[in-house]
């Protein structure tokens, strides 16, 4: 089963810090590590590790950072044959400041990612795709990909992040109607509704007219509404090292179970487990393999 992920591919630089510097101040970092990033690319790697076919569609510069990012995707088994090279732009870079408690702050340079245009999305690039995941806040990209999904008969999920939520409820509604799954985190839900409690999630889902809305709540787990059932499943308690990419690992695991026809409880349980494993590891691409998620759940008495 082939899943295509559309959006950003970045090279991430992580600095582990105990505090943020003030103006003209210097703070010593406890650790430094680097690796591939970008929500759509992270999702593609996570999907591949869960045993599904993965294709990434995005854009990079013709520079060493872009080549390193692509090589990492290739080594993970992700199809990168449809990635656009943008010779006049630098590849995307994100500096991630990771606090000792695992929380993060990010500085993003989009660079070549902005070189992906709707005209780059063609039916041929989505041949054989069963599901399209849109990890982007660019409305024009979402709209074009949804057109193609209808042509190829693929289901669709959107994780537009803060970039999409900041455009307001009307814009989000314009791209969400009829979409199979919409993902957002607590902060994004609050931007749209002023609240992230269960009643607000149900109301927001009904306004968006998506088939499913899933809101991640960090250490409190996640809540989903599918038009018939509103359910919150608690997170697993673990010692977080780095939360970067946890939402992407969650979304990939949720979609993997969605495509298997599992019910909403099983999807949330499996996705929470995948995210829990991920946050115990550094880097955005440290999502677990399927057997790891199954073993984690079995160790706690769950059967999946």
Residue 91 to residues 109, 113, 135, Cα–Cα distance (Å): 8, 7, 17
Structural contact between residues 43 and 135, judged by C-beta atoms closer than 8 angstroms? yes
| SS3 state of residue 247 | helix
Structural contact between residues 244 and 104, judged by C-beta atoms closer than 8 angstroms? yes
- Six-digit token string for 77: 């088994």
Catalytic residue check, 248: yes
Closest Cα to residue 232, out of 199, 209, 207, 208?
199
Distance, in Å, from the CA atom of 40 to the CA atom of 255, rounded to the nearest integer, reads 13
The catalytic residue among 120, 159, 248, 263 is 248
DSSP 276-296: HHHHTSSSTT-PPPHHHHHHH
- Six-digit token string for 31: 């650790």
Displacement of CA 236 from its chain's centroid (Å): 19
Structural contact between residues 274 and 252, judged by C-beta atoms closer than 8 angstroms? yes
Sign of the C-alpha dihedral, residues 136, 133, 128, 67? positive
Structural contact between residues 123 and 148, judged by C-beta atoms closer than 8 angstroms? yes
- 89-104 as b/e, with b when 16 or more CB fall inside 10 Å? bbbbbbebbbbeebeb
Closest Cα to residue 246, out of 219, 274, 269, 220?
274
Catalytic residues: 248
């Amino acid at each position: 089963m082939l899943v295509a992920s559309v959006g950003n591919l970045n090279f991430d630089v992580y600095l582990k810090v105990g505090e943020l510097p003030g103006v003209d101040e210097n703070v010593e970092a406890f650790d430094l590590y680097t690796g591939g990033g970008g929500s759509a690319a992270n999702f593609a790697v996570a999907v591949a590790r869960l045993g599904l076919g993965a294709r990434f569609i995005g854009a990079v510069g013709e520079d060493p950072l872009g080549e390193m990012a692509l090589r990492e995707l290739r080594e993970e088994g992700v199809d990168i044959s449809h990635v656009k090279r943008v010779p006049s732009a630098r590849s995307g870079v994100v500096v991630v400041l990771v606090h000792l408690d695992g929380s993060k702050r990010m500085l993003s340079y989009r660079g070549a990612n902005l070189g992906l245009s709707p005209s780059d999305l063609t039916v041929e690039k989505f041949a054989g795709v069963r599901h399209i995941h849109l990890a982007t806040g660019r409305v024009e990209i979402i709209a074009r990909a949804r057109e193609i999904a209808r042509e190829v008969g693929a289901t669709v999920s959107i994780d537009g992040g803060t970039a999409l939520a900041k455009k307001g409820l009307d814009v989000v509604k314009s791209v969400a109607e009829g979409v199979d799954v919409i993902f957002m985190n607590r902060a994004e839900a609050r931007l749209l509704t002023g609240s992230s409690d269960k009643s607000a999630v149900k109301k927001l889902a009904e306004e968006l007219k998506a088939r499913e809305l899933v809101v991640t709540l960090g250490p409190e787990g996640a809540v989903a509404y599918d038009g018939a059932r509103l359910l919150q499943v608690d997170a697993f308690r673990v010692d977080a090292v780095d939360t970067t990419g946890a939402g992407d690992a969650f979304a990939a695991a949720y979609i993997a179970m969605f495509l298997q026809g599992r019910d909403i409880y099983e999807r949330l349980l499996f996705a929470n487990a995948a995210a829990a494993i991920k946050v115990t590891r550094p880097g955005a691409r440290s999502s677990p393999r399927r057997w790891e998620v199954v073993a984690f759940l079995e160790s706690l008495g769950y059967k999946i």
